[in-house]
Amino acid sequence: MTEPDLLLTAIVPTPLKETYQALTDPAALRVWLAEHAEVDLPGRYEFWGRYTPDGAEPHQRVLHVDERTIRFAWTVDGVEATVQFELADDEDGTLVTLTHSDLPSFEEVIADQAGARGALQTFWSLAIANLADYLAGRELTPMVDFTSGELRASVVIDAAPEEVFDSMIQPEVFRKWFGAKVDIEPRLGGRFAMGGFELDPGGAKFVEFEPGRKAALLFADGETTSWELEGSGGKTRLTMWHSGFDPDNPPYAAWGGWLGGIAGLRRYHELPGRHSIWRRTEIAGVPEGMLTIDQ
């Protein structure tokens, strides 16, 4: 396999054999990975549907399988890449390493010029987060619907609204659950910059900001990410949505990043001390220091 453009390593809370089963059982795959899945190894490993980039039909081809490895070719938007799951025993469960080759550049993804392939990095981050929660018996985070122009999701978090809101606007806490450096000025009109103000001096701006209740970020391209919190019984229903984009070209990559972040936010509040599943994250072309791993 050539040097991958994406490498994700995470810990999931089950023994290797049970983890491998979740990766190869089509019924399990239909819960945490894709709308449709069919598996008959060593010859067939397919998934497709509305939660899969370029997912109108399956585009996978098995390259190698053994008791710890699944490697397959996956063609998205006419470009074939190599994807590999590799499992290793770990004292806390199983170490899952995902690699994906031949991805578009970071600059193409940021400029929204990569089509369906631009969403693959965030697709896998969210998928592995949902794999970990599936194996732990936890409720999953909503997936990206690549057939819909409505970018909206709602989850319930076992923490009070004030606590959840505070963790979303304090940069040192945000880094812990999102896995990326961010600078935030937590006030109406304040700046928000993924990667820090040195990479994005202008940043997005808070155009709504009501502590404990709601906030909205306006980006330079005119798009807006909003969140609203509603408390009940010591828990919080967090609803997040993205708007202001070309309806014929939804920013699925960015939306998948937010949903993957929500998975981390839920873990941060509900599994204190063990919230992070990530051991290693590498994306080719991402500025040094932007991605973080917080154990």
Pick from 169, 163, 171: which is nearest to 188 by CA?
169
Whole-model pTM over 0.85: yes
Q: Which amino acid is at 233?
A: G
Cβ(62)–Cβ(85) below 8 Å? no
Q: Which pLDDT belongs to residue 295? A: 44
Predicted pLDDT at 202: 84
DSSP string, 137-179: TPPPPPPP-TT-S-EEEEEEESS-HHHHHHHHH-HHHHHHHH-
How far is residue 158's CA from residue 216's CA, in Å, rounded to a whole number?
22
| pLDDT given at position 36 | 98
Helix or strand (DSSP H, E) at 231:
strand 224-232
In tens digits, the chain (295 residues) has pLDDT values of: 457 899 999 999 999 999 999 999 999 999 999 999 999 999 999 999 999 999 999 999 999 999 999 999 999 999 999 999 999 999 999 999 999 998 888 777 666 666 889 999 999 999 999 999 999 999 999 999 999 999 999 999 999 999 999 999 999 999 999 988 999 999 999 999 998 999 888 889 999 999 999 999 999 999 999 999 999 999 999 999 999 999 999 999 999 999 999 999 999 999 977 778 999 888 877 766 666 665 4
> What pLDDT, on a 0 to 100 scale, did the predictor assign at position 113?
66
C-alpha span between 218 and 132 (Å, rounded): 32
Tell me how far apart the alpha carbons of residues 194 and 183 are, in angstroms, rounded to a whole number.
Answer: 7
Amino acid at 203: G
**Torsion 160-186-278-30 (CA) sign:** positive
DSSP summary character for residue 256: H
Calpha distance 287→275 (Å, rounded): 25
